[in-house]
């Protein structure tokens, strides 16, 4: 406990040292709308097929947002629930299973709870059965005021697994428009879920030779999901919320399509193993700030664990507590080198990319240049692999051992001038 708390406090102090930044608190009191888009990856952002942009809405939104072009999902077997946990609670998911299912009774300091402590309402929307990924229980633990699941929506647009994104956003916005402000609203989309099937009338792209392949279907459904996001943005504007809401949009995880020949359409060559690794792990993350300020491409690496610290920083809520692993991505202060650690022990600092071997022995892993893809001597990466493993170990101790409960007790004792 002491060792883990001390290690987490070092992380917290590093975050707190960034709070001298003029950006800290510059969006204090803004609403937060977070959209987690199902299976949305980075590789086709900005690309066209058959003469049409695949994601025209995202492409335009990126131009007026802070866009993190080297952003990675950090999920494992818990897929969508892992993305939710990593983003909102800024801790690593489990190596196997899902924190939402295995550790829903444990204490975490997730975004909804933290924002509620700062005067926000907190609401989550997802148009599927509330028991899936144990969301009913976990969202209660995360202290959302309300969870709107499938049973709360009118099934007036049947697509994919359940309700189409367009209707989902429209019905969710009917509720958001009435929420007490400032609000934190979290929408988890579903239509672009595997197996990516859409009725013919909804397939608006000409995917040329990809027609009839799973990649062709994926692009069609991403095009639909993108259009739905466009309707959500228009509705935010129509409700007068665009100017006082931070919109955060990110992809939850990869699309599980591992047929590399289907990617050749977008990438000149996918034979390089680290290029494949980066393709699978890269998801978009954009932050649209109320005044459209700080728009541009941010090329430092970042990951899902950094989303909550980034939002807290902008809202002026201190990240100086030892509850989170990530660090703010959008800061004018010098943040030093950032490393994104994957659950399987892979990591990148933007220059190096380390892929562990299945036996988990660091010396058997493979070290690459993250820029050129060239394979390097493993010894170049080895000195840093210990840090990634330590992060995973500390996170596991917290999640499995329910240590945040003890951290909070220690803080309460210290605040009263006592010794723990």
Nearest 10 degrees: Cα torsion 390, 393, 397, 400: 160
Minimum CB distance to ligand GP9, residue 190 (Å): 6
User: Annotated binding residue at 55?
Assistant: no
**Residue 154: is it exposed, middle or buried by C-beta count within 10 angstroms (0-12/13-18/19+)?**
exposed
Q: Using the minimum distance from each CB to ligand GP9, give the nearer residue, 29 or 195.
A: 195
Binding status of residue 132 toward ligand GP9 by CB under 6 A:
yes
User: Annotated binding residue at 80?
Assistant: yes
Instruction: Give, to the nearest 10 degrees, the angle between helix 56-63 and helix 214-238.
Output: 50
Instruction: Find the binder of ligand GP9 among 70, 79, 203, 265 (CB under 6 A).
Output: 79
80 counts as catalytic: yes
Report residue 256 as tokens. 């599980």
Q: How many residues line the site for ligand GP9 (CB under 6 A)?
A: 7
Q: Which residue is nearest to ligand GP9 (CB)?
A: 79
Binding status of residue 242 toward ligand GP9 by CB under 6 A:
no
**354 torsion bin: left (phi>0), alpha (psi -120 to 50), beta (else):** beta
Residue numbers 157-196 binding ligand GP9 by CB under 6 A? 190, 193
Binding status of residue 72 toward ligand GP9 by CB under 6 A:
no
- Please identify which of the residues 42, 80, 123, 191 carries the catalytic annotation: 80
Residue numbers 297-336 binding ligand GP9 by CB under 6 A? none
Residue in 215, 307, 291 with CA at minimum distance from that of residue 255? 215
Instruction: Find the binder of ligand GP9 among 30, 55, 80, 255 (CB under 6 A).
Output: 80
Distance CA 199, CA 186 (A): 28
Binding status of residue 128 toward ligand GP9 by CB under 6 A:
yes
Q: Using the minimum distance from each CB to ligand GP9, give the nearer residue, 18 or 249.
A: 249
Distance CA 172, CA 124 (A): 9
Residue numbers 88-127 binding ligand GP9 by CB under 6 A? 126
Q: Using the minimum distance from each CB to ligand GP9, give the nearer residue, 128 or 148.
A: 128
Who's near 83: CB < 8 A, 6+ residues apart? 36, 73, 74, 75, 250, 252, 253, 304
Distance CA 78, CA 392 (A): 16
User: Annotated binding residue at 193?
Assistant: yes
Q: Using the minimum distance from each CB to ligand GP9, give the nearer residue, 36 or 69.
A: 36
Report residue 177 as tokens. 């428009």
Residue numbers 391-420 binding ligand GP9 by CB under 6 A? none
Distance CA 32, CA 120 (A): 9
User: Annotated binding residue at 226?
Assistant: no
3-state secondary structure of 135: helix
Binding status of residue 7 toward ligand GP9 by CB under 6 A:
no
Minimum CB distance to ligand GP9, residue 113 (Å): 21
Distance CA 192, CA 97 (A): 23
User: Annotated binding residue at 174?
Assistant: no
**152 torsion bin: left (phi>0), alpha (psi -120 to 50), beta (else):** alpha
| Interface contacts to ligand GP9, rule CB under 6 A | 79-80, 126, 128, 132, 190, 193
Residues in binding site: 38, 80, 193, 252-253
Residues in binding site for substrate: 193
What is the set of active-site residues? Answer: 80
Residues in binding site for Mn(2+): 38, 80, 252-253
């Amino acid at each position: 406990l002491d060792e883990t708390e001390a290690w987490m406090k070092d992380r917290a102090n590093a975050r707190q040292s960034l709070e001298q930044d003029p950006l800290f608190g510059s969006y204090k009191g803004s609403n937060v709308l977070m959209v987690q888009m199902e299976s949305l990856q980075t590789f086709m952002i900005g690309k066209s097929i058959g003469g049409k942009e695949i994601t025209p809405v995202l492409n335009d939104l990126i131009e007026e947002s802070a866009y993190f072009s080297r952003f990675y999902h950090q999920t494992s077997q818990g897929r969508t629930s892992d993305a939710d946990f990593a983003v909102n609670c800024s801790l690593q998911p489990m190596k196997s299973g899902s924190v939402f299912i295995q550790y829903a009774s444990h204490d975490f300091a997730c975004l909804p709870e933290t924002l509620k402590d700062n005067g926000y309402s907190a609401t989550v929307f997802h148009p599927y059965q509330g028991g899936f990924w144990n969301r009913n229980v976990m969202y209660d633990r995360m202290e959302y005021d309300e969870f709107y699941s499938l049973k709360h929506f009118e099934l007036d647009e049947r697509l994919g697994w359940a309700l189409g994104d367009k209707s989902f956003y429209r019905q969710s916005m009917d509720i958001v428009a009435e929420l007490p402000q400032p609000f934190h609203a979290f929408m988890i989309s579903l239509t672009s879920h595997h197996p990516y099937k859409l009725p013919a009338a909804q397939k608006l792209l000409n995917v040329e030779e990809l027609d009839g392949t799973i990649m062709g279907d994926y692009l069609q459904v991403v095009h639909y999901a993108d259009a739905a996001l466009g309707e959500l943005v228009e509705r935010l504007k129509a409700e007068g919320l665009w100017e006082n809401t931070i919109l955060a949009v990110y992809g939850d995880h990869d699309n599980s399509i591992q047929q590399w020949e289907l990617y050749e359409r977008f990438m000149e060559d996918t034979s390089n193993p680290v290029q494949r690794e980066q393709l699978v792990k890269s998801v978009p993350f954009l932050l649209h700030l109320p005044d459209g300020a700080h728009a541009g491409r941010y090329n430092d690496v970042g990951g899902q664990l950094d989303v909550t610290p980034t939002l807290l920083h902008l809202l002026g809520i201190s990240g100086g507590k030892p509850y989170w692993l990530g660090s703010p991505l959008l800061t004018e202060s010098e943040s030093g080198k950032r490393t994104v650690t994957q659950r399987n022990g892979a990591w990148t600092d933007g220059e190096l990319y380390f892929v562990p071997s299945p036996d988990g022995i660091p010396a058997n892993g493979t070290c690459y240049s993250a820029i050129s893809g060239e394979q390097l001597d493993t010894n170049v990466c080895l000195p840093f692999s210990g840090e990634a493993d330590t992060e995973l170990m500390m996170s596991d101790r917290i999640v499995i051992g329910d240590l945040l409960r003890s951290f909070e007790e220690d803080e309460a004792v210290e605040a009263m001038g006592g010794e723990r």
